[in-house]
């Protein structure tokens, strides 16, 4: 029976032809991340950790690292930065700053929305999740720009087209966005009129 890990049977230079990270166009990443209210971000982290595990033999569990990305963002962004140095790619990617911005926005957005659900909380806190979600796409785009340079695909053309799965996610996301914003608006207006 053949070994399930075919990568170790490949010659050393064959590994250079594989992408070291998940290649996707920054615009596709942004649209799917925002449309799915950040769920695509979990997939993005999963794909990157899975590739790192397979190609570099890292002892990581991609699923938990993607679900709990808030704890592993710095680690992944540092891996990206190391790959930039190893490949000699010219990039202005700042892993510590971008990871910190991403994590802070996730935490602030989630805490703000939870506090906003409390009876005497200011109404604007209910929208903090949406604002932080929109802002948190920036550090991911910066990381993706660096990843695409590492993969010799600067614009992410290899993964720039939308599959029918992607289109369904966007449609579902737009519907959810509409309902969530409508609910937030009705809740904010309703509290002010009582």
Give alpha helix (H) positions in the chain.
26-35, 39-56, 62-67, 69-87, 95-116, 128-150, 164-193
Query: What is 91-120 written as a DSSP string?
Result: ----HHHHHHHHHHHHHHHHHHHHHHTSTT
**Is the residue at 10 inside a domain?**
no
Lowest-confidence segment of 27-36, 160-169, 183-192 by average pLDDT: 183-192
**Is the residue at 137 inside a domain?**
yes
**Is the residue at 170 inside a domain?**
yes
The tokens for 61 are: 């569990």
User: How many Cβ atoms from other residues are within 10 Å of residue 17's Cβ?
Assistant: 8
**Is the residue at 8 inside a domain?**
no
Full residue range of the structural domain in which residue 39 is found: 22-193
- What's the whole-number mean pLDDT along residues 80-106? 94
**Is the residue at 139 inside a domain?**
yes
Query: What is 31-56 written as a DSSP string?
Result: HHHHHTTTHHHHHHHHHHHHHHHHHH
- What's the whole-number mean pLDDT along residues 109-131? 79
Q: Which residues, 6 or more positions from 53, have their beta carbon under 8 angstroms from its beta carbon?
A: 59, 60, 62
Specify the pLDDT at position 110: 84
**Is the residue at 121 inside a domain?**
yes
Inter-residue contact 112 to 121 (CB < 8 Å): no
**pLDDT tens-digit series, residues 38-59:** 999 999 999 999 999 998 888 9
Inter-residue contact 46 to 68 (CB < 8 Å): no
**Is the residue at 4 inside a domain?**
no
Number of domains in the chain: 1
**Is the residue at 127 inside a domain?**
yes
- Interatomic CA distance for residues 152 and 146, integer angstroms: 10
Specify the pLDDT at position 147: 96
- Looking at every residue in the chain, the average pLDDT score rounds to 85
Specify the pLDDT at position 190: 64
Whether the model clears a pTM of 0.85, i.e. scores above it, the answer is: no
The tokens for 181 are: 């914003």
């Amino acid at each position: 029976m053949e070994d399930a890990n075919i990568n170790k049977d490949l010659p050393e230079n064959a590994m250079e032809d594989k992408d070291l990270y998940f290649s996707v166009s920054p615009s596709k990443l942004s649209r799917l991340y925002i449309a799915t209210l950040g769920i695509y971000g979990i997939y993005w982290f999963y794909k990157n950790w899975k590739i790192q595990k397979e190609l570099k033999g890292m002892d990581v569990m991609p699923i938990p690292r993607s679900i709990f990305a808030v704890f592993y963002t710095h680690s992944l962004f540092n891996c990206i930065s190391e790959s930039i140095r190893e490949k000699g790619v010219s990039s202005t990617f700042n892993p510590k700053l971008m990871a910190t911005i991403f994590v802070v926005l996730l935490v602030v957005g989630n805490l703000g929305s939870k506090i906003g659900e409390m009876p005497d909380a200011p109404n604007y806190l209910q929208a903090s999740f949406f604002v932080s979600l929109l802002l948190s796409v920036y550090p991911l785009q910066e990381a993706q720009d660096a990843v695409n340079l590492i993969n010799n695909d600067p614009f992410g053309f290899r993964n720039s087209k939308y599959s029918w799965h992607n289109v369904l996610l966007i449609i579902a996301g737009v519907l959810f966005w509409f309902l969530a914003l409508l609910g937030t608006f009705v809740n904010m207006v309703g509290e002010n009129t009582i």
